[in-house]
């Protein structure tokens, strides 16, 4: 399974900047989670959103370049391979003005039952919504 890319543009805010005067690495991780959540909310049905929650099993992130105050960044995400209990998600973060790659991430997400918090299999129709 592989999904179409989902994207959003966000500004770098003063709170995102660290002592080295660039975006802190924890902000990149927050952006990885923010775009995953936005993608889920944009594509999944209200019924699926109510029934299924997501927890991170693993994050892998590579930092390729800095973002600075005043930059806009474009977040891209798509779903890769899905197993019975994990969904692989990829994220790229690029500076909007020149397209420079700033970060790449691969995250494994586990779907959980929103009521019990226990891992759950995702239905075929939900899987289909995220595949091309």
Percent of the chain with pLDDT over 90: 83
67 pLDDT more than 70: yes
- So where are the chain's domains? 6-129
β-pair type (87-95, 72-82) = antiparallel
Percent of the chain with pLDDT over 70: 97
Tell me whether residue 35 is exposed, middle or buried, using C-beta atoms within 10 angstroms of its C-beta: 0 to 12, 13 to 18, 19 or more. buried
pLDDT number for residue 15: 97
pLDDT number for residue 2: 54
pLDDT number for residue 116: 96
pLDDT digits (tens, 9 = 90+) for 19-63: 999 999 999 999 999 999 999 999 999 999 999 999 999 999 999
pLDDT digits (tens, 9 = 90+) for 74-95: 999 999 988 888 899 999 999 9
pLDDT number for residue 25: 94
pLDDT digits (tens, 9 = 90+) for 2-23: 578 999 999 999 999 999 999 9
Q: Evaluate the CA torsion angle 106, 52, 130, 110 in order and state its sign.
A: positive
Q: What does pLDDT average to over the chain?
A: 93
pTM, 2 dp: 0.92
pLDDT number for residue 83: 85
pLDDT digits (tens, 9 = 90+) for 87-116: 999 999 999 999 999 999 999 999 999 999
Cα separation, 22 vs 95, in Å, equals 13
Cα separation, 71 vs 12, in Å, equals 6
Q: Select from 3.40.50.2000, 3.10.129.10, 3.40.50.720, 3.30.420.40 the CATH code of 6-129.
A: 3.10.129.10
């Amino acid at each position: 399974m592989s999904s179409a890319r989902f994207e959003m543009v966000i500004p770098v805010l003063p709170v995102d900047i660290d002592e080295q005067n660039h975006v802190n690495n924890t902000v990149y991780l927050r952006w990885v989670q923010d775009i995953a959540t936005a993608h889920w909310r944009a594509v999944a049905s209200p019924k699926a959103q109510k029934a299924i929650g997501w927890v991170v099993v693993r994050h892998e992130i590579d930092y390729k370049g800095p973002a600075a105050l005043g930059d806009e960044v474009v977040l891209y995400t798509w779903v890769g391979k899905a197993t019975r209990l994990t969904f692989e998600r990829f994220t790229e973060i690029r500076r909007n003005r020149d397209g420079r790659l700033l970060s790449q991430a691969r995250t494994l997400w586990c779907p959980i039952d929103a009521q019990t918090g226990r891992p759950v299999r995702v239905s075929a129709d939900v899987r289909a919504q995220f595949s091309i």
